[in-house]
Structure 1
Amino acid sequence: MSAGRGHGHGHVLRADADKRYLIGALALILGYMAVEVIAGVVANSIALISDAAHMLTDATAIALALIAMRIAARPARGAYTFGWKRAEILSAQINGVTLLLLVAYFVYESVHRLIEPPDVSGPVVVVTAVAGIGVNALAAWLLSRADRRSLNVEGAFQHVLNDMYAFIATALAGAVVWLTGFRQADAIAALVVAALMLKAGWGLLRDSGRVLLQAAPSGLHPDEIGAVLAADPDVEEVHDLHVWTVTSGYPTLSAHVIVADGADCHQVRTRLADLLHERFEIGHTTLQVDHGIPGLDPHCVDPHGPRHSDPLKSPYGDP
């Protein structure tokens, strides 16, 4: 019997560079948030103050990302055999939930403002919002240079990007109020922003939820992988095939492989690990390779999932 791993973890994130980008974006957001609070009070603008509150959630998202990045770097030990790498997935979940809560808040406030539109100083709103667009664009650019394959970084990026959209909507609404006196423009713009936030928040919850539920990574299909492994000339059957993601960019696979009598288990395992790495970009693999009778394997009385075999070379086929 031969069991082993192929090629290491395949999860190399530019942690130091990512940290610098996140800290730079955090400094920009915190600095301008203070400016926006002052401008909102001076202009008596609930829109600007709401945007400042949105920026606070951006700062929180980035801070969570930095904390999760630090936790995820802890080595594997004791009961945590994969380390703390899923801390970033939990951070992405928090970011997604926060976006959805903000959606509920903005929808509520928008409906209220449609009914009772407040007086707003249009010129101050426009100038402050236009400056906010620039600040958020720069912060989003910094975050885009980090490794966005990480749901942790992607969550922070989505927060900042949506805040930039909010500033654009606020600037347009401020211009409409300033030029036409149509005060409901602010509420309409907020509803548009809420729709964008709903899309981003749902995407983060969906993707991080797939990781937490140990679903196969998007784009990797276990049945296809099983068929490719079973097509190896020495392989008679593959079962107990599991494909999941430990954390962003860290796809993992394990399987039980039955090979023909006379086949070298070690050579088959190495060949299959190379195949999985080159064709599917799965670097962390654990393959148990045995001689045995397909469908009657004594090592797995109750194998999980379908059995994969090549009907062109084996009389067994998939049940």
Structure 2
Amino acid sequence: MAHNHAHPHDGNQKRLMAALLVTTLFMLAEVAGGLISGSLALLADAGHMLTDTAALLMALLAVKFAQRKPNARHTFGLLRLTTLAAFINAIALLVITVLIVWEALQRFFHPQAVTGGLMLVVAVAGLLANIFAFWLLHHGSEEKNLNVRAAALHVMGDLLGSVGAIIAAIVIMTTGWTPIDPILSLLVSLLVVRSGWKLLRESLHELLEGAPKAINVDKLKRELTQAIAEVRNVHHVHLWQVGEKPLLTLHVQVIPPYDHDGLLRQIHVWLHQHYQIAHATVQMEYQPCSGLDCELCETGAPHQQVEGTVLEHEHPHGAHSGHHH
């Protein structure tokens, strides 16, 4: 299974590398074009592409580090680096957008001449480059990789910026009205802020050990109780995510089973099939927890134990290794 798991990382790495090359080249082209033509829209797009270059580089490094095997010091490996990179990317995107908005406001008070023809040529070339880069990254995000989505979001901001620059160039060439340049820069920046803020919240949620939004904990507890006859109650559930892996610990009060290991394996298989949770720690109990809600910080009497030992098993007899990707 480890062999299959490596392919998405390899695909993401190649796409990130190609997108990084394309973005870097056209960032330099837009900087030059913006300075020569005097277009803020081009410079705004180049500013987004500058953060794209850093974002893609961090994403590439994060994907590379995430492939390192777990060790005694980092038992989950370095998967969390991808989320951290997405968080930094979101902050960088918001900061650069604020700077562009500030410059756009200054342009209203101090208009500058803009060369529409050169602006249009560079903007069209930038649009094509951004479309290509976004296509690369979009096709690399089937596994809902937050880090690749972060990089794709940066490129989407550039794509919108290129469209704005093209519109501004056409208006300037046909009417000579230069305020359209900072106006469109301002509108594009505001659109990107919305997406950047969403990404910031998502990555921060994961860094704070929040439960994956795709999994409803209450629904999981209810369905597990209904699906397996021996399960009386599911409680003390803790769900979080590392990289793309959802992780789960829970207590399960059960009717004393004829085949203890078989029931434990059945619970693991159900979690994997219905919620794609391949790494779970299940504590089986024959009596209710001593606390009202069985809280993590509980300091009262210990839980009722099975045969004198608290059972905290992964998949027994090789079942864990078969389901843990």
Q: If the length of structure 2 is used for normalisation, what is the TM-score?
A: 0.84
Q: Structure 1 stretches of 5 or more lacking a match?
A: 1-6, 306-319
1:80-124 deviation per Cα after TM superposition (whole angstroms, max 9, x unaligned):
111110000000001110111122112211111122221100111
1:33-66 deviation per Cα after TM superposition (whole angstroms, max 9, x unaligned):
2222332333233432332232111111100001
State the partner residue of 2:29.
35
Alignment partner of 1:58 is 2:49: no
State the partner residue of 2:159.
164
Alignment partner of 1:200 is 2:200: no
Q: Which amino acid aligns with 1:57?
A: T
Match for residue 172 of structure 2 among 157, 170, 177: 177
1:233 Cα deviation from its structure 2 partner? 1.2
Partners of 2:295 and 2:258 in 1: how far apart?
Answer: 22
Closer/same/farther in 2, CA of residues 296 and 33 from structure 1, 3 Å limit: closer
Closer/same/farther in 2, CA of residues 179 and 302 from structure 1, 3 Å limit: same
1:142-194 deviation per Cα after TM superposition (whole angstroms, max 9, x unaligned):
11121351111111111111101101101101111121121110111011111
Partners of 1:236 and 1:45 in 2: how far apart?
Answer: 67
Alignment partner of 1:303 is 2:298: no
1:12 Cα deviation from its structure 2 partner? 5.9
Alignment partner of 1:218 is 2:213: yes
Structure 2 counterpart SS, 1:14: helix
Structure 1 counterpart SS, 2:209: coil
Alignment partner of 1:23 is 2:17: yes
Match for residue 239 of structure 1 among 214, 219, 235: 235
Structure 2 counterpart SS, 1:20: helix
Contact 2:41 2:161 in 1 (8 A): no
Contact 2:172 2:180 in 1 (8 A): yes
State the partner residue of 2:247.
252
State the partner residue of 1:45.
39
Contact 1:239 1:303 in 2 (8 A): no
Partners of 1:166 and 1:228 in 2: how far apart?
Answer: 46
Q: Which amino acid aligns with 1:303?
A: E
Contact 2:37 2:115 in 1 (8 A): yes
State the partner residue of 2:83.
89
Structure 1 counterpart SS, 2:24: helix
Structure having the larger proportion of residues in helix = 2
Contact 2:16 2:56 in 1 (8 A): yes
Alignment partner of 1:73 is 2:67: yes
Partners of 2:72 and 2:16 in 1: how far apart?
Answer: 31
1:220 Cα deviation from its structure 2 partner? 0.8
Partners of 1:102 and 1:218 in 2: how far apart?
Answer: 28
Contact 2:47 2:96 in 1 (8 A): no
CA RMSD of aligned residues (A): 2.2
**RCO higher in 1 or 2 (8 Å CA, sep ≥ 6)?**
1
Closer/same/farther in 2, CA of residues 101 and 13 from structure 1, 3 Å limit: farther
Q: Structure 2 stretches of 5 or more lacking a match?
A: 298-325
Structure 2 counterpart SS, 1:245: strand
Partners of 2:34 and 2:190 in 1: how far apart?
Answer: 24
Q: Which amino acid aligns with 2:168?
A: A
1:264 Cα deviation from its structure 2 partner? 2.7
Identity of aligned residues (%): 33
Q: Which amino acid aligns with 1:122?
A: G
Q: If the length of structure 1 is used for normalisation, what is the TM-score?
A: 0.86
Closer/same/farther in 2, CA of residues 32 and 261 from structure 1, 3 Å limit: closer
Partners of 2:53 and 2:87 in 1: how far apart?
Answer: 16
1:238-258 deviation per Cα after TM superposition (whole angstroms, max 9, x unaligned):
2211111112x2111111112
Aligned length: 294
Contact 1:255 1:286 in 2 (8 A): yes
